[in-house]
Structure 1
């Protein structure tokens, strides 16, 4: 009996090894990440609808089927849990045929699409805007090369950190933050809800992140507030940015004096760059310059206290302490929404919406109702506070899912 058990155990072990080798060679094996199965059909429908509005709609053969999407999500998830030379992979995958891209870098021999090969190639696509090109031949998936230029409605899957995947596509006007569709974190699935947002009460920042056309955009290719939000979140130290009316001093009634670090003269570089674009005077490197200045201002938000800019993007101060204006009462309640399918709005006591930055932001907007406050938490949560005239209360939009 003992010998028989050993043989049985040895046989099971050998079978597992053979099975593991087989799965590593198979192009589209059975999906083991449940979230991939659950979301693939929804994503197929979404990109079919998007393709009808974009340059990708040149034949159904270029639209990814749910089984292909499922396999890509599954492999990317398992790749995210591995490490290459001690580093967790950061990968951007573009699910597109090479002939549908501009200036692709095509490998002499396509590489099998497996978690192991994704991890091996991940250092080559760690820089922004570089994607591994993936497409299928029949039921087989291959990594065919890399690309900088992809169609508007191409499915892009980004491995952000272990177990965290973001599915997105390029915004139709071209440059800037991609439009997020879904965020998968372990067994959690968050689908962005574009249909039940109350856009009449939606700040331009949120509308832009959702790919909704703005009534008066800053620029057809870049939205400054979006990039400021990304910059705030990037330093991972938390931050508070107050956006106040231009040529008004009323906001100072809600700030402790003396202000931590006031700017004199006012720093107008970002405002000047935006104005150059409006006047048609901007130079070739305008976009690069404006993003550099955005990063500078975003860096100031890492300092304890609030950073203050005008709606024309003039930097007024940083390190400012928010206090309730003497003539106003404490903020009573806050209306909180998140643009996620199945997420119901809540009305909460302000002390329950987050830390001191959130409370300060809610109080500031309650006092200064023509202002806006952006709050980045150290744990990645990002909230935009505005005053809602229709609700007659502070409205907090949680948008971290859109900023990944």
Structure 2
């Protein structure tokens, strides 16, 4: 689509062709698999124009509030029950800033399409096709490029993150590295259907909810078949839960027919937010792998005779990055150090750590490398 506009946001130009290739390849792959309800792939010019306008809109404010909006590239014919403007609006930073306060709630997208020369905003929608090109204006200078997964299940798949002049393109091949955690693999599953109710996705939802409260926190996931993890928790546990609270666990045990209902999904979000909310309390929240809540506000301690954690293997699923050995202090403060120590002492556990600044790290034990792995995944959770 030839567009008549100047691009002044250089990061948009730098990443546009790479994003064009990504969407074209995945949409073609989905077509070959006879997938239905697929989006139209955007070309590099369209991508440049949308990112350029979105970036400059993100730096504007309306009545003291920064612009926050989700843009979806599709014609109204590719959605269901769209809200259509009588006259399409020009696709400009000023228009986005003016309209954003009314459409910034989660799940609402501004529909963007073109007439051959210019892009325009035709209305809003909550329904978009699989692999639809979406740009979230999350905060000033921060754009997240993502798409709806096949069949629409689970969190949207993040493709790239642009923060000012910094560009991070997600490395979907990262899931092939040894000892990659299951729910990190699920986050990186660009085109594979991902059920909202599977185990990996529940942890993803917990991670997203933890990050959203912006207070920082730690969630420890321990095996339901062992109590060895208690050796790494300082006694007495002030906020132990006895009997274990099974609100989330009970939901996960229900049959697949019930899990497909909206009422079940609403209940799941409520239980996820309840557990994630507890992580804002000083100390670690503990659940088992059946999703029973065991304790919150706990203090992690190193068992007598165990060595302190000296190194971790740091990874980030971003193209151009390599795994590196770093000291735990490189990742953050006490919260990160204690989580790394816990996983080093309890190999069959994992720790999810949210920082107040939005960074998010998963700590797991690598059987292959015999070291604690620290997976930085905040680029996948935005």
Q: Post-superposition shift, 1:49?
A: 1.1
Q: 1:152 to 1:61 in 2, by over 3 A?
A: closer
Q: What residue number does 2:20 align with?
A: 44
- SS of 2:61's equivalent? coil
- Who is 2:317 aligned against? 339
Residues 311 and 215 (structure 1), Cα distance of their counterparts in 2 relative to 1, 3 Å cut: farther
Deviation string, structure 1 residues 292-345 (Cα, Å, up to 9, x no partner)? 110010000000000000011110000000011124211231000000111121
Which residue of structure 2 aligns with residue 179 of structure 1? 157
Structure 2 counterparts to residues 209-358 of structure 1, below 5 A? 209-211=187-189, 219=197, 223-278=201-256, 283-358=261-336
State the SS of the aligned residue for 2:72: strand
Partner of 1:396: 374
> Which secondary structure state, in structure 1, belongs to the residue aligned with residue 67 of structure 2?
coil
Q: CA deviation at 1:106?
A: 1.3
- Contact 2:41/2:133 (<8 A) preserved: no
Q: Structure 1 residue 30 and structure 2 residue 3: aligned?
A: no
Corresponding residue for residue 116 of structure 2? 138
CA drift at 1:61: 10
Show structure 1 runs of 5+ residues with no match. 1-26
CA pair 73-357 structure 1, distance change in 2 beyond 3 A: same
The aligned residue for residue 77 of structure 2 is 99
How far did residue 86 of structure 1 move?
1.3
Listed as ranges, the gaps of 5+ residues in structure 2 are none
Q: In the comparison of the two structures, how many residue pairs are matched?
A: 378
**1:200, CA displacement in angstroms?**
3.5
Distance in 2, matches of 1:59 and 1:208, equals 21
Following TM superposition, by how much is the alpha carbon of 1:290 offset from its aligned partner in structure 2, in angstroms? 0.4
How far the C-alpha of 1:397 sits from its partner, in A, is 0.5
Matches within 5 A, 1:50-65: 50-54=26-30, 62-65=40-43
- Greater Cα shift, 347-356 or 38-47: 347-356
TM superposition shift of 1:349: 1.9
Q: For residues 211-254 of structure 1, what are the alpha-carbon distances to aligned partners after superposition, in whole Å with 9 as ceiling and x for unaligned? A: 26899978369810000000110000100000000132111100
Equivalent residues in 2 for 1:98-137 (5 A)?
A: 98-137=76-115
Do the aligned residues in 2 keep the contact of 1:166 with 1:183 (CA within 8 Å)?
A: yes
RMSD of Structure 2 on Structure 1 (CA)? 2.4
Contact preservation (8 Å) 2:134, 2:146 = yes
Secondary structure of the residue aligned to 2:379 is helix
Measured against aligned partners, the alpha-carbon deviations of 1:362-393 in whole angstroms (never above 9, x if no partner) come to 10000100000000011111000000000001
Does the alignment pair 1:190 with 2:190? no
* The 10-residue stretch of structure 1 (128-137 or 244-253) with the greater mean CA deviation from structure 2: 244-253
- 2:138 equivalent to 1:160: yes
Quote the residue 1:71 is aligned against: 49
CA contact (8 A) 1:41 1:66 kept: yes
| Kept in 2: contact 1:92–1:159 (CA 8 A) | yes
For 1:201, what is the secondary structure of its paired residue?
A: coil
Q: Choose the corresponding residue for 1:370, options 332, 348, 365.
A: 348
Secondary structure at the residue paired with 2:173?
coil
CA distance in 2, matches of 1:253, 1:216: 35
Assess if the C-alpha contact under 8 Å between 1:175 and 1:222 holds in 2.
Answer: no
Distance 1:60-1:351 versus aligned 2 partners, 3 A rule: closer
Check the 8 A contact 2:150/2:192 in 1, yes or no.
Answer: no
Q: CA contact under 8 A between 1:51 and 1:57: conserved in structure 2? A: no
- Decide which structure has the larger Cα Rg and report it: 1
